Structure 1
Amino acid sequence: MLVLSRRIGESLVIGDNVVVTVLEVRGDVVRIGIDAPRSVAVNRAELLAELESSNQAAASPSEDTVAALARQMRERPPG
């Protein structure tokens, strides 16, 4: 990980076309601006983690669902 110190109004460039600028610092909160092409996805890490967790929960059947499916298979007549 590269760690840089920047002051308000200073920027850093990522690749050829992404510019990150420090806009404001208030206590422990830093506001940044990100100038990137629309083709570059810019997301907050905590939202991506929450979305991934939510997707995994939705894709995993609950124990109740598994038990209900097992019960249906036992009750289904053979053939």
Structure 2
Amino acid sequence: MLVLSRKVGESVLIGDDIVVTVVELRGDAVRLGIDAPRSTRVHRAEVAVAVSDANAAASAVDVSDDDVRDIFGGLQRPE
């Protein structure tokens, strides 16, 4: 892990196209601005872990064909 010291307004360049800038210091929190291409996903780590855990739990649910027919049986294809 690279550890850097930056002041408000200073930035760190990651690769050729991601810039992380220190926007503000508030008590024990640091506000960061991240400028990255739209194709680069940027998520808070705790949110990414929660989504991953929720997806794993959802994929572990056993659903039968009959369950699917019960849920979606009344739906019709749009014309």
**Does residue 56 in structure 1 map to residue 56 in structure 2?**
yes
| 1:60 positional shift | 1.3
Scaled by the length of structure 1, the TM-score of the pair is 0.74
* Residue type of the alignment partner of 1:33: G
Distance 1:37 1:54 in 2: 27
Q: Within 5 Å, which residues of 2 pair with 1:27-38?
A: 27-38=27-38
Structure 1 unaligned spans of 5+: 66-79
Secondary structure at the aligned position of 1:55 is classed as helix
Query: How many residue pairs end up in the alignment?
Result: 63
Structure 1 stretches of 4+ with a deviation exceeding 4 A read none
| 1:46 positional shift | 0.5
Distance 2:2 2:24 in 1: 21
| 1:25 positional shift | 0.4
Distance 2:9 2:61 in 1: 49
Distance 1:8 1:48 in 2: 27
Distance 2:8 2:39 in 1: 27
Provide, for residues 9-31 of structure 1, a one-character-per-residue CA deviation record: whole Å limited to 9, x for no partner: 00000000100000000111110
Scaled by the length of structure 2, the TM-score of the pair is 0.74
